[in-house]
Amino acid sequence: MNRLLSLAIMFLMVSNLMAQEPEAQNRPNRPRARRSMVPTPSYPATADADGNHVNAHGGCIIAYNGEWLWYGEARPRFGFTSEGVSLYTAPIGTQPISASDSLAATPLDLKWKYRGLVLTVVDEAGSPIERGCIIERPKVLYNERTRQFVMLFHSELKGRGYEAAQTGFATSESPYGPFRLHHVQRPNPGRWPADFSDEDIKRAKALNPSDYPEWWTPTWRTAVEQGLLLAKDFESGQMSRDMTVYVDDDGTAWHIYSSEENLTLQAAELTPDYLGYTGRYYRIAPGGQNEAPCLLKHGDTYWLICSGCTGWTPNEARMFSAKSIQGPWTQHPSPMQGPGAKRTFEAQGTWIWTQPSPTADSPTLYFMADVWMPRSLALSRHLCLSITFEGDLPVIRK
Ligand code: DGJ
């Protein structure tokens, strides 16, 4: 009886493993067979040139020397740790591979070539990127002054869950890597937000977490807005989790990240070499609980598209606009429209992919997003939707 039971368990485990193979059978034109307890993903896989699902999540796509470079989280088949950052490339200007009669090709259906891991976790005990760590949402910038490629990412230490909440900085002479870890840190220790008045600082300094043992009460919320959690991390540096980067028209690079226990976003100015912070930072939507920030500029307006904070589960997107990254930011309804909009089409944003448009003056903008599959993060799907402007407001439909 015991033997039968173990055989049955083994069979279930093996069929579960088989169903999660991201091999050629998962190409967009072949819907996956329903073979096991693993939920059928709501989107087809993104096949690379070898027919494997693209294992690059929470990433970014930048242009370099006639190629698109797609950097993203390389996730293991099982578990929540990281393998590093992977790179896929595709020539700019080529047409998406047509998917099938029933599935329209998206800009993501290019012939992506896997170029390997450009940042890898290491076996050195105590390294911030020791195997078992978490590396999320890598973003890559080219720094013209230093002629270096700089990667920023959300860095969590081995065995410590999401408590470290640091930014990792890595550099490479070449966009194809290898990127070497420069350092990890929390942004702006010992600094108050640039727009905090003396009065704001005095009030924040007086806030004491032990006076607010219960979270989510109206008084706690007011204290958070006034800087309760900001003040808590004043000495050690601000927490930094979900993130994006943006280089402004004047060349200033900004790091925008979920801070203050994911309650408040912050926009921090990077030093000219992109390897640290100048000390100037601003809060966005204090107490608003926003994650997954994606930033674009249209005309003279900056648009920030975010998600709410529900872990790997989809939620309704949020949107803010401002005339300057320093704010003030105004909230708008979600830009998602049509069926599925309330749950961001099951996805969570990661990047605004800017593509030159041969016909229009302004580039075509795409909202890139991850359809997370926490039971196998490596298999998380990708969504790429064009952003249009209707009456000056960004609109995203599926
Ligand atoms: C949502 C974030 O957007 C993801 O990057 C990841 O950190 C998950 N939370 C972890 O639960």
pLDDT tens-digit map of 288-305: 999 999 999 999 999 999
Whole-number Å distance, alpha carbon 348 to ligand 1 midpoint, is 9
pLDDT at residue 228 is higher than 70: yes
pLDDT at 206: 97
Helical H runs in the chain? 2-19, 198-205, 218-226, 228-232
pLDDT at 26: 33
**In CATH, what number is assigned to the domain containing residue 345?**
2.115.10.20
pLDDT at residue 96 is higher than 90: no
Interhelix angle for 198-205 vs 218-226, to 10°?
130
pLDDT at residue 86 is higher than 70: yes
pTM for the full predicted model? 0.89
Whole-number Å distance, alpha carbon 311 to ligand 1 midpoint, is 5
pLDDT at 361: 76
What is the mean predicted confidence (pLDDT) over 313-340? Answer: 97
Nearest 10 degrees: Cα torsion 146, 151, 152, 158: -130
* CA–CA distance, 81 with 317 (Å, rounded to integer): 26
180 domain-assigned: yes
Place of tokens 């099982």: 78
- Whether 323 and 302 have beta carbons less than 8 Å apart is answered as yes
Smallest CA separation from ligand 1 atom 1, residue: 311
* CA–CA distance, 121 with 128 (Å, rounded to integer): 9
> Can you tell me which atom of ligand 1 is nearest the CA of 134?
7
Q: Which residues of 344-376 are buried (b: 16+ CB within 10 A; e: fewer)?
A: bbbbbbbbbbbbeeeeeeeebbbbbbbbbbeeb
pLDDT at 13: 43
71 domain-assigned: yes
pLDDT at residue 115 is higher than 50: yes
pLDDT at 15: 38
pLDDT at 99: 56
| Residue ranges making up the domain that contains 369 | 55-191+234-397
99 domain-assigned: yes
What is the mean predicted confidence (pLDDT) over 109-115? Answer: 94
What is the mean predicted confidence (pLDDT) over 252-270? Answer: 98
342 domain-assigned: yes
What is the mean predicted confidence (pLDDT) over 29-43? Answer: 50
pLDDT at 20: 36
Q: Which residues of 104-118 are buried (b: 16+ CB within 10 A; e: fewer)?
A: eebbbbbebebbebb
227 domain-assigned: no
> Can you tell me which atom of ligand 1 is nearest the CA of 137?
5
Coil, helix or strand at residue 283: strand
Smallest CA separation from ligand 1 atom 5, residue: 242
Residues contacting residue 200 through CB under 8 Å, at least 6 positions apart: 192, 193, 226, 227
Whole-number Å distance, alpha carbon 374 to ligand 1 midpoint, is 10
- The percentage of the chain sitting over the pLDDT mark of 90, rounded to a whole number, equals 82
pLDDT at 356: 81
pLDDT at 98: 61
Ligand 1 binding site (Cβ under 6 Å of any ligand atom): 58, 136-137, 242, 291-292, 311-312, 348
pLDDT at residue 6 is higher than 70: no
Q: Based on the structure, what is the number of domains in the chain? A: 1
Whole-number Å distance, alpha carbon 98 to ligand 1 midpoint, is 31
- Whether 53 and 22 have beta carbons less than 8 Å apart is answered as yes
14 domain-assigned: no
What is the mean predicted confidence (pLDDT) over 366-380? Answer: 96
226 domain-assigned: no
What is the mean predicted confidence (pLDDT) over 333-337? Answer: 98
pLDDT at 357: 77
Whole-number Å distance, alpha carbon 264 to ligand 1 midpoint, is 15
* CA–CA distance, 179 with 155 (Å, rounded to integer): 15
201 domain-assigned: no
